[in-house]
Amino acid sequence: MGLSMSAGEGGSAAPGTVVEVLQSPEGWRAFREEWEALFAQSPTAAPSLAWDFLWEWWSVYGPAYGSRGKGLRIFTVRKAGRLIGALPLYVSRGPAWTGGMPRLMFLGTGEVEAEQSGACSLDLLHLPGEESVCVNALAGALARSDATDWEELDLRMVPASSALNGWRDRLAGLSVVPGRTCYVADLTGGFEAYLERLSKSTRKDFRQLLRAARAEGAEFALASDLASADLFFEQLVRVHQERWEAVGEAGCFARPRRREFHRFLARKWVPEGKSVIARLSLAGEPIALQYGFLGRCKFDAYIHAARRMERTSAVRSPGNAVQLLLMAELAGRGVTAYDQLHGNERSYKRHLATTEQPLVRIRLLRPTFRGSVKRVSEAVEATARSRLRQLLRRG
């Protein structure tokens, strides 16, 4: 099942361009070969846009987060019959306080914080040089009031450099606001070149940490097949949960959906070389693990787990140690960027980074009754916050 719109219906799309919206898993499954061919050529390809990631996310999270258990909306753009672009979206029912206003969101987003899959750098997949054609065609499709059953467009984790930002000139009322920041370690030129990009004190601390790990006999290893992927993943979950449960927190793997989703990816992608689980051990016991995804010369560090060490231990920060050792390993394989993904300014992620990748949030409220009410309430709230800040400054 799908909706199809020609250039004439889509508004400003180029002649011969057709936008189709796939709404059934069966229709999307039949599209897999074309999706993977497009992904292989797209300059915006990232692990969170890969077929395996998106299909498994929808299989696991779709029944809970898709509108009425459905809501799949895969936008595709064809020119003269050839697939030139794809945008993986779905319709999600919004929070109850909005009246359940349906939101059009990226697949891989919209979960409650405890279940977030870690999707990042979400963007339009497109053939090289076809991004403007795709953006124009999709803007026309979104402008059609009967194209999809949504009232709010809410695209998060979008790179600030995305061509989708061009919608500001094509969709009235659309806003592009600053979002979170990804912290990235530049590995160009190798691991030593990375260390030289750090401050002198940070570089000294990291080198001391690595020397201490070697002196203590710490062993660094990578999962390489299905058996080691299963073992390392279970150790990752156990170490992470123990750390957070010890301080009264649930831990990110407390929710079954999150564990199920990432266990699938680890078992599928580690043997294929698309996912990495690194482990640092002392006396045969894991003290830190790092899990993430490999893209084109780039590693997305999804999550790490580390034990709290005794003050007498020379390996005082096993979490940093396992990441530095993994950086050295990946740099030797030609990986040039180690993306910590989003975090706050005070986090360890900033400490390890040499550069930043800003993300944005793209939003559009349709002129429906609920959309208008939400727009007014947000404006009132923003004004109240601004006045409160002014009062606090004066005080």
pTM of this structure: 0.88
Q: Which domains does the chain have, with CATH numbers?
A: 2-179+359-394 (3.40.630.30), 188-335 (3.40.630.30)
Decide: helix, strand or coil at residue 175.
Answer: strand
Q: What are phi and psi of 338, to 5 degrees?
A: -120, 100
pLDDT at position 54, please? Answer: 97
Residue of 309, 312, 323 whose CA lies nearest to 279: 323
pLDDT at position 11, please? Answer: 45
What's the rounded Cα separation, in Å, for the pair 234 and 240? 10
The full DSSP string for 145-169 is TTSSS-SEEEEEEEETT-GGGGGGG
Residue of 255, 329, 253, 345 whose CA lies nearest to 294: 329
What's the rounded Cα separation, in Å, for the pair 113 and 67? 19
- The residue ranges of the chain whose pLDDT is under 50 are 1, 6-11, 369, 376, 380
Q: Which residues, including other chains, have CB under 8 Å from residue 64's CB and lie 6 or more apart?
A: 257
**b/e sequence 158-167, b meaning 16+ C-beta within 10 Å:** bbeebbbbbb
What's the rounded Cα separation, in Å, for the pair 93 and 11? 28
Residue of 362, 319, 20, 317 whose CA lies nearest to 158: 362
Q: Which two tokens stand for residue 1?
A: 């099942």
* Tens-place pLDDT, residues 96-122: 555 678 899 999 999 988 888 889 999
